[in-house]
Amino acid sequence: MADETRLIRAGNSSKALAKTVGPPIQKGSTVLLPDAAALYDDETYVTYGRQGLAAHEALREALAVLEGAVGVALYPSGLGALTGALLAVLETGDEVLVSDTIYKPTRRFCDHMLKRFGVKASYFDPRTAPETLLAKASDRVRVILMESPGSLSFEMQDVAHVAALARDRGILTALDNTWGAGLIYKPLDHGVDLSIQALTKYVGGHSDVFMGSVAARDPGLVRALNEGVVQMGWSVSPEDAYVMLRGLRTLPVRMARQGESGLAVARWLAAQPEVVSVIHPALPGAPDHALWARDYTGACGLFAFVLTPGPVKAVEAFLDALTLFGLGFSWGGFESLAIHCDPQLKTRKIRRDYGGPLIRLHIGLEDPQDLMADLRNALSVYAEAIA
């Protein structure tokens, strides 16, 4: 054979790969099949690299174990997982009931893209009693989409009760469980049909990779999710799947530490004179603490608190005075973060008066005493700004 031909074939050994603790990172769009009959046998073989190779399969299997699922679909982002779950089960003429405290980009998708496709999105107060919510649900409702605790303001829902009543009506339930990460809360065990999370956050854990997942126990829903992934052309890279699986291995250790540190900082904040209230469902006395205590096995490091009333410039002075907290929207990584929530709350149907500016914190892996000292300095700056 000519060099051109031999170079195409050289190095393509069929020798078995060495066994490592992580899966191999296979890079390939073309998948070579064993014979002609396999070319169109999608049930038995992976016929195209976009379907996922070794690292993807290992990640899906591990997430299925974590979630207690029959199958898991992967998406390029958490928002991709949320939109993918809805597109997999909704049709023109359907209605979806959405918690008013849902992740803002999900609301944007519901209000614009779903509306274009002839699907109506109706929003409800997350503290609506489950019986009241289902009583108001029209016959067009196909899905109830929840997020508990709610984005930014951390309202809890009785997810299990909603799921049970919805099942009796033939309505599917879906939950954005990014706060629980499939570890401290397991939606499928509580009757939810579609467990969704932004793996970008706690599973990845290092603020350097995007991905989302949807887990289900019903084989028909798993099939619908997988068909949606194929038909929409979604895929994640093998490197990202490997990194995400690596993050998953240390999720319990990181989340336990960040949950403990978060509670320590939350308790400390509750005693500061510049703080009106702390919104953390794991704190005894919180409005929804009983639901958290019933359903959750732990907490993560994400919560909010309310400053005493003051102008936006004072809030900005507080944030700018922080040195250990980064100012950023994503969370779940090893670093602590802070944002001002009020500008995002304007899109909600239900407006609540929290008694002052709402600040969201993500507590990372730093020493909580150092974080408290940083917050104490910033709170003093805030007090001076409003004096």
50 included as an active-site residue:
yes
> Given 50, 104, 167, 223, which residue is catalytic?
50
Residue 7's pLDDT is 85
> Given 60, 75, 100, 103, which residue is catalytic?
103
Average pLDDT over residues 149-177: 98
Write out the H or E segment, with its range, that includes residue 105: helix 104-109
> Given 60, 75, 142, 176, which residue is catalytic?
176
Taking only the tens place, the pLDDT of each residue in 341-387 is: 999 998 898 889 999 999 999 999 999 999 999 999 999 999 999 99
Pairing of strands 194-198, 172-176: parallel
Q: Around Cβ 249, how many Cβ atoms within 10 Å?
A: 13
Taking only the tens place, the pLDDT of each residue in 9-22 is: 888 877 788 888 98
In 3-state terms, what secondary structure has residue 301?
coil
**Contact by Cβ (8 Å): 324, 370:** yes
Q: How far apart are CA 261 and CA 250, in angstroms?
A: 17
**Contact by Cβ (8 Å): 226, 73:** yes
Residue 296's pLDDT is 98
* pLDDT tier at 84, thresholds 50, 70, 90: very high
Pairing of strands 120-124, 95-99: parallel
CA atoms within 13 A on the CB side of 344: 19
Can you read off the two tokens belonging to residue 140? 């067009």
Q: How high does pLDDT run on average in the chain?
A: 96
Q: How far apart are the first and last CA of the chain?
A: 85
Closest CA to 225 of 110, 44, 86: 86
Cβ-based neighbours of 31, under 8 Å, separated by 6 or more? 45, 46, 47, 48, 49, 53
3 included as an active-site residue:
no
> Given 201, 246, 254, 360, which residue is catalytic?
201
In whole angstroms, how large is the CA radius of gyration of the chain? Answer: 23
176 included as an active-site residue:
yes
How many residues can be counted in the chain? 387
Closest CA to 221 of 114, 95, 52, 88: 88
